[in-house]
Amino acid sequence: MNLEVSAGRSSLFFIHVVDKGMSEAPEIRIKEIAEPIIKQEDLFLVDVEIKHAKLLEVWILVDSETGGVNVDVCSKISREIGFIIDSEEIFGSAYRLNVSSPGLGRPLTDRRQFAKNVGRTAKVKVQNEDKYSTVEGILEDVNETELVLLTDKNERRVIDFDKLVETKIIPKI
C-alpha cells in the first residue's frame, strides 16, 4: 500500500491503494464500513462520494457535533477504512481514499451539522409547494424539526427541515 499524507491546515488525509475486485454498490458498503470506525472517534459520517477521474477517488466526509475534525483523526480513520476496503477487494483498480471534513463551501446535509453552526450566518433555500425562495440570516436555533433564522431586518423565520432544499454557511471575514 502506498501512503500519502497531506499536512497543513486541511483536515485531509489520502491513501492510494490497488485492489482486485469491484462490488456493485461500493458507496453503500463503504458507508457500512466507515460508520462504526468514525463513530469511535466521536464523529459522524456526512457522506461518501466516489468520483471517476483518471484515478478513482473515494471521498469520506466526516464531521463533529461539537468541535472540529483534525488531520490526525482523519489519518487514523483513513488507515482503518483503507485496510478493510483492501481486505474486501472492493475496487478493481487503483484509487485514492480521502477522509476530510466537509468544509465551509459544502451545504449542510446532516441535521447534526446545524447545531454547531448556531450563531453563524446561513443562506437557506426553501421549497414551498412549487416555489423556491432563499433566506439569509443568523442561524439562531435548531431543534428536531425546524431551524430559526434571524434576518438582517430582525425578522425570525422558522423553517421546517422538510422544506429545506439547501443550507450553506456564509463565512464572515
> pLDDT tens digit string along 43-87?
999 999 999 888 899 999 999 988 889 999 999 999 999 999 999
Provide the pLDDT for residue 12: 52
* pTM for this model (two decimals): 0.76
136, containing H or E segment: strand 131-142
Provide the pLDDT for residue 24: 54
List of residues 6+ apart from 97 with CB closer than 8 A: 14, 15, 16, 17, 58, 60, 78, 81, 82, 85
Show the low-confidence residues of the chain (pLDDT under 70): 1-24
CB 56 within 8 A of CB 19: no
Provide the pLDDT for residue 8: 41
At 67 the three-state DSSP class reads coil
